[in-house]
Amino acid sequence: MTTQVPSHTRLRVTRAGIDTYQQPVVYMHRDCEVCRAEGFAAMTRVRLDVGGRTLVATLNVVVSDRVGLDEVALSEVAWALLDPTPDALARVRHAEPAASAGALRAKVFGARLDDAQYRALMQDVMESRLSDLELAAFVTASAGDRLDHAETTALTRAMIAVGQRLDWGEGPVLDKHCVGGLPGNRTTPIVVAIIAALGYRIPKTSSRAITSPAGTADTMEVMAPVALDLAMMRRVVEREGGCIVWGGNVRLSPADDILIRVQRPLDFDSDGQLVASVLSKKIAAGSTHVLIDMPIGPTAKVRGDAAADSLGARLEHTAGALGLRLGIHRSDGTQPVGRGIGPALEARDVLQVLRNVPGAPVDLRERALALSAALLDMAPGSNAGTGLEGARGVLESGAALAKFLAICDAQGGFREPPKAAFTADVPATASGRIAAIDNRRLARLAKLAGAPAAPAAGLETSLRIGDTVERGQPLLTLHAQSPGELAYALEHAAALQPFALGEAP
């Protein structure tokens, strides 16, 4: 027998028009009868039943007349998840405690969790049953070295289990990932083009920038659409062998996307969560052979050899436990790569390398070739040491460029990167020899100029450690899409000083 819900306990569903990113939020008037009867307060976790769908969300209480007494307004993500029909009504009540509450509490107090407990946690993450405060507690309890190798594997396995997983059939599926922290290191489009041109499958899902001036998806998006769904992604790979799409739209490890949203503002370093994040996405994407690019430098994400050894061991243990063939490529992380930092500027560097333009960034070209060679040498049936020759051959012949343009066409069409309307040089205030380059400060300066929100914004520099500069010589050129953003970046350029000068030889 179905219990009828009295009409006065149901509220009209409206759209608040507020972007709360991935956190479902609902809005109710403080004098709403349901709000008062249920004893709701701000930040209460509530359950909404709308039609045949259920959602757990965080309540924000409205004190003005922007929300009616008979309404519940939904944030954009809540609206998308519930997808209400016109004139829909919602029943709103207190959410039941999350099934994983005990496991979360145990982790906060330092306990080791098993596979079942991590599976329960990730299931509750997916169903929005944990508040951002609870997610922050989990992220904090897992930070540093608080996840051992077994727990890292369990967390990775749980992230894969609660999302979708692609199956490409027989044969190897190659992929690469950079752990990050190096501005301009935009090798992925070149590597994908080379690998696909040689007949291998490489379905690349990439992220947008969160704290950096450009992510691979941001850079690719100035040249071709990247917000493809799974069906479209599959069609592109079946047609061309490879793709470069935004991972947030295909949601192959969606629990990880939610944890990242909470983790990034806290700025906690956690090898365990990094490994679970990277490998869950690769395995969910159907990859069988993955190369990890690990730049090492004092202002990169991995600061030194000891940190690289620790992270590498964790990556290899988890990959081995989950049946993934993994390679690690250590690279120089002491200075930026290419000339551009920012989506369109990095895209221009990529195209110069693919087009074999005289004067194209040599460091970007050689890094992309080295990564392609290492990945090719990992492929089943390959002759060790022959990867570089094959990679160089398809790049110099133009086959890699043709494959890249074909991938762009399959994803929706190629376009040339835009150029910024406003530029300004930042001159050296003294003469000397460049002794060090702070990657983080360079990235910060590119963001102040408007990147990545303004795709053409960022900066260009060709200076490297060991180069000499004269006072008044341009150290870098800022690119902005508005005079205000250019002025703002110029104002901060002198204070940031990403180039450390020593005495000239």
* Domain CATH code at residue 348: 3.40.1030.10
Residue 223 and residue 127 share a domain: no
- Tell me whether strands 289-296 and 422-427 are parallel, antiparallel or unpaired: unpaired
CATH number at residue 107: 1.20.970.10
Q: Does 167 map to a domain? A: no
Residue 226 and residue 189 share a domain: yes
Residue 395 and residue 284 share a domain: yes
How many CA atoms, within 13 angstroms, populate the side-chain half-sphere of residue 25?
Answer: 17
- Which pair of structure tokens corresponds to residue 58? 């965080």
Query: Which of 141, 81, 175, 114 has the alpha carbon at shortest distance from 379?
Result: 175
Query: Which of 446, 440, 444, 439 has the alpha carbon at shortest distance from 420?
Result: 446
Q: Does 381 map to a domain? A: yes
Neighbours of 191 (CB within 10 A): 30
Q: What tens digit of pLDDT does each residue of 247-283 get?
A: 878 878 888 888 888 887 777 768 899 999 999 999 9
Residue 318 and residue 203 share a domain: yes
Residue 184 and residue 116 share a domain: no
- Tell me whether strands 25-29 and 71-74 are parallel, antiparallel or unpaired: antiparallel
Domains contained in the chain, number: 4
Strand (E) or helix (H) holding 245:
strand 242-246
3-state helix, strand, coil split of the chain in percent (to 5) is 40, 20, 40
Q: Does 1 map to a domain? A: no
Residue 185 and residue 41 share a domain: no
Residue 326 and residue 307 share a domain: yes
- Angle (CA) 125-128-131 rounded to 5° is 90
How much is the pLDDT for 4?
A: 47
Q: Give the residue from 161, 183, 201 where a domain finishes.
A: 161
How much is the pLDDT for 284?
A: 93
72 forms beta bridges with: 13
Which residue bears the tokens 């409206």? Answer: 14
Q: Does 493 map to a domain? A: yes
CATH number at residue 16: 2.40.40.20
How much is the pLDDT for 502?
A: 87
Neighbours of 160 (CB within 10 A): 23
Residue 105 and residue 90 share a domain: no
How much is the pLDDT for 252?
A: 83
Residue 224 and residue 149 share a domain: no
- Which pair of structure tokens corresponds to residue 476? 């870098």
- Angle (CA) 273-81-263 rounded to 5° is 20
How many CA atoms, within 13 angstroms, populate the side-chain half-sphere of residue 325?
Answer: 14
Segments of the chain scoring below 70 in pLDDT: 1-8, 269, 505
Which residues, 6 or more positions from 264, have their beta carbon under 8 angstroms from its beta carbon? 210, 211
The answer to whether residue 269 is catalytic is: yes
DSSP assignment of 323-369? T-EEEEEEEE-SS--SSEESHHHHHHHHHHHHTT-TT--HHHHHHHH
CATH number at residue 483: 3.90.1170.30
CA atoms of 316 and 321, how far apart (whole Å): 9
Instruction: Please tell me what DSSP assigns to residue 494.
Output: H
pTM of the model: 0.89
Q: Which amino acid is residue 312, in one-letter code? A: G
- Angle (CA) 279-283-286 rounded to 5° is 150
How much is the pLDDT for 162?
A: 92
State yes or no: cis peptide before 452, omega within 30 of 0.
yes
Q: Does 2 map to a domain? A: no
How much is the pLDDT for 318?
A: 97
Q: Does 168 map to a domain? A: no
Q: How far apart, in Å, do the first and last CA atoms of the chain sit?
A: 89
Residue 198 and residue 155 share a domain: no
Q: Give the residue from 94, 118, 145 where a domain finishes.
A: 94
How much is the pLDDT for 505?
A: 67
Strand (E) or helix (H) holding 383:
none
Of 49, 70, 269, 409, which is the active-site residue?
269
Rounded to the nearest 10°, the torsion over CA 360, 361, 362, 368 is -100
Phi-psi region of 460 (alpha: psi -120 to 50; beta: other; left: phi over 0): beta
Instruction: Please tell me what DSSP assigns to residue 98.
Output: P
Q: What tens digit of pLDDT does each residue of 6-41 get?
A: 455 799 999 999 998 778 999 999 999 999 999 999
Q: Does 20 map to a domain? A: yes
Per-position b or e across 257-288, b if 16+ CB within 10 A of its CB:
bbbbebbeeeeeebbbbbbbbbbbbbbbbbbb
- Which pair of structure tokens corresponds to residue 79? 């609206």
3-state secondary structure 271-288: HHHHHHHHHHHHHHCCCC
Q: Are 19 and 75 in contact (CB under 8 A)?
A: yes
- Which pair of structure tokens corresponds to residue 98? 């999350």
Strand (E) or helix (H) holding 175:
strand 174-178
Residue 448 and residue 374 share a domain: no
Q: Give the residue from 383, 411, 439 where a domain finishes.
A: 411
Instruction: Please tell me what DSSP assigns to residue 466.
Output: T
Residue 320 and residue 376 share a domain: yes
CA atoms of 496 and 71, how far apart (whole Å): 49
Q: Are 281 and 255 in contact (CB under 8 A)?
A: no
How much is the pLDDT for 164?
A: 86
Q: Are 173 and 218 in contact (CB under 8 A)?
A: no
Q: Does 303 map to a domain? A: yes
- Which pair of structure tokens corresponds to residue 302? 């991995």
Average model confidence (pLDDT) for the chain?
93
Q: Which domain holds residue 107?
A: 101-161
Which residue bears the tokens 């003005």? Answer: 64
